[in-house]
Amino acid sequence: MPGRPRPRHRPPDLRPALAVNVRRIALVGQPNSGKSTLFNALVGWRAVASNFPGTTVEVLRGRANLAGRPAEVVDLPGIYSLAAQDPAERVARDFLLGEQVDLIVNVVDASLLSRSLSLTLELAELGIPMVVCLNMADEAEHKGIRIEREKLAELLGVPAVATVAARGVGLPELLAALPEAKVPRPPRYSADLERALAAVEALLPQISGLGGLPPRHAAARLFSSEPLPEGTPAAVREEVARIREDLARCRGEDPALVLVDERHALAARLFREVARVEHARVGWRERLDDLLMHPLLAYPILALVLFLLFWLTFRVGSALEGLLSPALEGLSSAAARALGEGLLAQALAGALDGIWAGLAIALPYLLPFYLLLALLEDVGYLPRIGFLLDGLMHRLGLHGKSVIPFLLGYGCSVPAVLATRILEEERDRYVTAALAVLVPCAARTVVVFGLVGRFLGPAPALALYLGNILVIALAGRLLRRFLPGLGPGLILEIPPYRVPGVCTTLGKVWLRLREFLKVAWPILIGSSAVLALVEALGWEGGLNQAARFLTWPLGLPPESGIPLAFGVLRKELALIMLIQAFRTSDLGSVLTAGQMLVFTVFTMFYMPCLATLAALRRELGWRRALLVLLGTTGLALLLGLLARAVAVLV
């Protein structure tokens, strides 16, 4: 950020008296309006915030201390309107309407104010106290949009605060405004629409199953598209249908669209009253698309960006590994000698092996990779890749929006599977999730670079990535045969380019690394200890023999059986256990080039790790998760055999 002083993050500190007893504050707004950034600023680093719509697909909760009283702050997925259309939006709407929310902070991208006010007016119908947070005030200024905050606050009947959440600007003011929150003034539509809505509202007591929805909102929902709940009396059903038909006849338009268009017209009028648009500055950020989206240059640039992502990861990673590995290995073998021979001592030595392996083998590749991925996300290039690859994705029976889960898959498969919630169609979500788990995640990158990259060179490692893309493309074409039908196509908001904030980007890298340190590292250490114990007891021969059905056809040495089994817990373990099983980190001396290739290819594709399986089960159900498991393992076996054949021939 250009040299302005960044206010230090202060823990929320409120004026002593809160007007209402606020227990739960929900951040609600359109996608990419900066809710997660604001959430992080309020409760500390919890949420991944990026520059693409639909980063948040779950409800995230955090605690803040409001005037000495604990309150829960909730970060919801972005919604364009309360008429939810994809699962991420449904999550947000159901939370907002189903849980007790005491206060809404409507986070608005001030640079898109006219569009965003439609949602603000829709929220105003819920009857929940609200504060409007005009976020990204700096971008609005850049676009030449001047907003009269007091006037907006007066017209809506709620406080309005300008913020730049990414830099912490305006947060004290926002916190100070929370106790002033008021129930907003609901919008007034044209007389005929008001009459129709009131008529539906009058019928509400006779309709059960609306679960205490605010009456105005419930009427609007019945009016739009939602079918009436089961068990509604036929007379009421007919009455609602008649009201809708009457309006449709008068307006010559679907009542749902009439309502949305009126709300938009009110929002547009509100915008004209509170904002002036002076001439916008056109800078590099607006012109960059002329180059990066250029019909001819865009694709070479994309290829270069992706190449640099992996090449830099490999370069930095192998340099760090070379620096750390010998020292830590020496330390751990010295410790093992000092510990002696007993069973417990050997288990402890194994645990030490796990500790150094996590630090010296996994972390060196994870750190640069997460950093580069975070930069790509925050600049705003990710959705543009979706635009560029839409045509290609159509050949896989998908469209460009699926690119976002795929690219997140290079980081970790779990968020990739969750990110399929931004897709509207169930079938698209299934196909995308099934293919996204084939994308080599950071853990598999550790195996690819730590084995093939280190011992066979960077070119074969990069070739594996290209081959992986080819396999995913072929698998996609195959899936298209079994699961035909394509959703309506790509509709994706492309956010402006942004200079990544140091705090946001590093915070995100830290969140992802913390995930590794908190979840994966202990598994690594525990598994190393277990393996050491198994070896001390002399059981490894039997276990490896049991895995021979897999390692024999692939031409792998028997010792690789246990590592592949452990790889199901975490994919890095496959490599780390291999080092432990052979008691050397110089795997080049115990494995042939062909064996390394086969091992890596198999690890790249075989069954997703347990955490990913859990995510698949949650998003797709047992049956489909099981199908993905069988499919990927079958594919891995097939490709492993193919790699063996290639290695023999070359």
CA distance 39 to 624: 34
| The two three-digit tokens of residue 565, written as one number | 């089994």
Which residues in 336-365 contact other proteins (CB under 8 A)?
none
Is the Cβ of residue 287 or residue 618 nearer to other proteins in the bound state?
287
- From residue 280 to residue 319, what is the string marking binding to other proteins with x (rule CB under 8 A)? x--------xx--xxxx-----------------------
By CB under 8 A, residue 80 contacts other proteins? yes
Among 244, 399, 454, 512, binds other proteins (CB under 8 A): 399
By CB under 8 A, residue 251 contacts other proteins? no
CA distance 533 to 520: 20
Integer angstrom CA distances of residue 138 from 110, 164, 313 = 9, 7, 33
Integer angstrom CA distances of residue 546 from 185, 540, 543 = 70, 10, 5
Least separation in angstroms between CB 417 and other proteins: 23
CA distance 101 to 91: 14
Least separation in angstroms between CB 127 and other proteins: 22
Among 495, 555, 563, 594, binds other proteins (CB under 8 A): 495
Is the Cβ of residue 259 or residue 347 nearer to other proteins in the bound state?
259
CA distance 455 to 424: 44
Is the Cβ of residue 85 or residue 208 nearer to other proteins in the bound state?
85
Is the Cβ of residue 258 or residue 577 nearer to other proteins in the bound state?
258
Which residues in 421-450 contact other proteins (CB under 8 A)?
424
By CB under 8 A, residue 488 contacts other proteins? yes
Least separation in angstroms between CB 523 and other proteins: 39
Q: Choose one: 1-9, 390-398, 457-465, 634-642; the region binding other proteins (CB under 8 A).
A: 390-398
Residue whose structure tokens are 């560029």: 388
Is the Cβ of residue 422 or residue 577 nearer to other proteins in the bound state?
422
Alpha-carbon Rg for the chain, nearest whole angstrom, is 28
User: Which amino acid appears at position 411 of this protein?
Assistant: G
Phi, psi for residue 109 in degrees, rounded to 5: -75, 105
Among 257, 323, 499, 519, binds other proteins (CB under 8 A): 257
CA distance 560 to 578: 6
Least separation in angstroms between CB 109 and other proteins: 9
CA distance 378 to 388: 18
Q: Of the candidates 23, 24, 47, which has an alpha carbon nearest to the alpha carbon of residue 35?
A: 47
Integer angstrom CA distances of residue 128 from 97, 105, 158, 214 = 10, 10, 11, 9
- The total number of residues shown for the chain amounts to 650
Number of residues counted as binding other proteins (CB under 8 A): 43
Contact 617, 433 (CB under 8 A): no
In three-state secondary structure terms, 131 is strand
Is the Cβ of residue 118 or residue 232 nearer to other proteins in the bound state?
118
- From residue 498 to residue 517, what is the string marking binding to other proteins with x (rule CB under 8 A)? --------------------
Is the Cβ of residue 57 or residue 112 nearer to other proteins in the bound state?
112
Integer angstrom CA distances of residue 337 from 331, 353, 354 = 10, 13, 16
Least separation in angstroms between CB 43 and other proteins: 28
Least separation in angstroms between CB 214 and other proteins: 20
Least separation in angstroms between CB 404 and other proteins: 12
Contact 140, 113 (CB under 8 A): yes
Contact 597, 452 (CB under 8 A): yes
Least separation in angstroms between CB 544 and other proteins: 50
Is the Cβ of residue 237 or residue 264 nearer to other proteins in the bound state?
264
Is the Cβ of residue 82 or residue 197 nearer to other proteins in the bound state?
82
By CB under 8 A, residue 607 contacts other proteins? no
Pairing of strands 103-109, 130-135: parallel
Residue whose structure tokens are 């493309």: 473
Among 254, 288, 637, 647, binds other proteins (CB under 8 A): 254
The dihedral region occupied by 280, where left means phi > 0, alpha psi between -120 and 50, and beta the remainder, is beta
Among 118, 346, 432, 595, binds other proteins (CB under 8 A): 118
Least separation in angstroms between CB 295 and other proteins: 5
By CB under 8 A, residue 111 contacts other proteins? yes
Among 66, 388, 407, 525, binds other proteins (CB under 8 A): 388
Residue whose structure tokens are 């891995």: 636
Find the angle CA(455)-CA(563)-CA(533) to the nearest 5 degrees.
125
Which residues in 7-66 contact other proteins (CB under 8 A)?
none
Which residues in 143-162 contact other proteins (CB under 8 A)?
143
Least separation in angstroms between CB 290 and other proteins: 8
Is the Cβ of residue 122 or residue 535 nearer to other proteins in the bound state?
122
By CB under 8 A, residue 492 contacts other proteins? yes
Query: Which are the contacts of 252, defined by CB distance < 8 A and separation ≥ 6?
Result: none
Is the Cβ of residue 367 or residue 492 nearer to other proteins in the bound state?
492
| Burial class (CB within 10 angstroms; exposed 0-12, middle 13-18, buried 19+) of 491 | exposed
DSSP state at residue 125? T
Q: Choose one: 211-219, 384-392, 544-552, 576-584; the region binding other proteins (CB under 8 A).
A: 384-392
Least separation in angstroms between CB 285 and other proteins: 11
Is the Cβ of residue 258 or residue 643 nearer to other proteins in the bound state?
258
Among 29, 170, 386, 555, binds other proteins (CB under 8 A): 386
Is the Cβ of residue 279 or residue 518 nearer to other proteins in the bound state?
279
CA distance 432 to 477: 12
| Buried-state track 403-438, b at ≥16 Cβ within 10 A, e below 16 | bbbbbbbbbbbbbbbbbbbbbbbebbbbbbbbbbbb
Is the Cβ of residue 317 or residue 496 nearer to other proteins in the bound state?
496
Q: Of the candidates 391, 321, 308, which has an alpha carbon nearest to the alpha carbon of residue 362?
A: 321
Contact 486, 315 (CB under 8 A): no
By CB under 8 A, residue 494 contacts other proteins? yes
Among 176, 302, 490, 568, binds other proteins (CB under 8 A): 490
Is the Cβ of residue 110 or residue 438 nearer to other proteins in the bound state?
110
| The two three-digit tokens of residue 616, written as one number | 């698949």
By CB under 8 A, residue 244 contacts other proteins? no
By CB under 8 A, residue 640 contacts other proteins? no
DSSP state at residue 587? G
Q: Of the candidates 48, 46, 51, 47, which has an alpha carbon nearest to the alpha carbon of residue 32?
A: 51
Q: Which residues bind other proteins (CB under 8 A)?
A: 80-81, 83, 85, 111-112, 114-115, 118, 143, 225, 254, 256-257, 260-261, 264, 280, 289-290, 293-296, 383, 386-388, 390-391, 394, 399-400, 424, 488-496
